[in-house]
């Protein structure tokens, strides 16, 4: 990695706002990229997009406890702040916001956000706590950073739709930008959890995007049949179990009653070994 100027780090809301207020006084626009750290090229693509669109960019690194269930990997989720800071600086980020859990959720905090619409079903069925926790932390981060725009990856398509709906419903003055999924040379969507895959599991995982692409083509002959074919194909490729494969309307993720007659996405979640992978693409 080439030498870059160390990235300033804000750990409190007050320090963060002091930086942003100084930028505002200079007339700068502010972009924001929220992350949970363990950064890879997919995250850096989001940062570069924010840099392209705004004069100054804040990236947050915060492993948000409210979106994890008790049995999920909160405790083992990878944390590597020093490396993340170097990567962010190399991508042109101007400030790292790395608050503690106590800063984000002080003693006595009881407010929650209830989400519906695009949050229902799919990930919302398998991880019912997640989108309420995501909406809460993103809403807090938006209030803390007060950006002009925020960039999210299309890999988490359902999350992107939930955030867009929240911003619309709550009149939050933030432009939400979706950035296309970054993939490896075999088409596997980049994810922090890919690090959990063994070499053999990685080979299997790289079949996911091709199967989804084929199922998207088959959707023209029937949505249900295409979904079933994809589930069977993933098991045949070596995945251990399938949480869902679903072809849905792109904007609100409602199911099709008949043929695909509007912009659509195919979304999937599948497990291999101890790793759960998600992916999606346009149909």
Catalytic residues: 43
> Whole-angstrom Cα distance, residue 279 to residue 266?
8
Task: Give CA–CA dist 64/119, Å, rounded.
Answer: 18
Separation CA 214–CA 222 (nearest Å): 13
From residue 211, alpha-carbon distances to 53, 187, 204, 264, 265 in Å are 34, 11, 11, 16, 14
d(CA 154, CA 177) in angstroms, rounded, equals 9
The token duo for 24 is 């505002």
DSSP for 137-201, please give it: HHHHHHHHH--SEEEEEGGGHHHHHHHHHHHHHTT---EEEEEPPPB-TTSPBP-GGGGG--HHH
Local structure of 272: helix, strand or coil: strand
Q: Are 113 and 135 a contacting pair, CB within 8 Å?
A: yes
Nearest to 2 by CA among 89, 60, 72, 78: 89
Q: How far apart are CA 242 and CA 239, in angstroms?
A: 7
CA 114 from centroid of its chain's CA atoms? 19
């Amino acid at each position: 990695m080439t030498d870059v100027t160390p990235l300033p780090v804000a750990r409190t809301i007050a320090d963060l706002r002091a930086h942003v207020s100084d930028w505002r006084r200079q007339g700068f626009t502010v972009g924001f990229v929220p992350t949970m750290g363990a950064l890879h090229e997919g995250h850096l693509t989001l940062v570069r997009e924010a840099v392209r669109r705004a004069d100054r960019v804040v990236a947050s690194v915060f492993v948000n406890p409210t979106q994890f269930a008790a049995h999920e990997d909160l405790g083992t989720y990878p944390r590597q702040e020093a490396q993340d800071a170097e990567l962010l600086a190399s991508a042109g980020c101007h400030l790292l916001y790395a608050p503690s859990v106590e800063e984000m959720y002080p003693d006595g905090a009881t407010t929650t956000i209830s989400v519906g619409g695009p949050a229902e079903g799919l990930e919302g069925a398998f991880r019912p706590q997640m989108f309420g926790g995501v909406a809460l932390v993103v809403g807090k981060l938006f209030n803390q950073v007060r950006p002009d725009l925020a960039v999210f990856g299309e890999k988490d398509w359902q999350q992107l739709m939930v955030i867009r709906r929240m911003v619309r419903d709550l009149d939050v003055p933030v432009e939400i930008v979706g950035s296309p999924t970054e993939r490896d040379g075999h088409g596997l969507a980049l994810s922090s959890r890919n690090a959990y895959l063994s070499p053999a599991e990685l080979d299997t995982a790289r079949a996911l995007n091709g199967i989804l692409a084929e199922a998207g083509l088959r959707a023209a002959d029937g949505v249900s049949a295409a979904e079933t074919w994809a589930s069977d194909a993933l098991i045949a490729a070596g995945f251990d179990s399938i949480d869902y494969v679903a072809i849905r309307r792109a904007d609100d993720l409602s199911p099709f009653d008949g043929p695909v007659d509007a912009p659509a996405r195919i979304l999937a979640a599948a497990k291999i070994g101890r790793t759960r992978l998600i992916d999606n693409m346009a149909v």
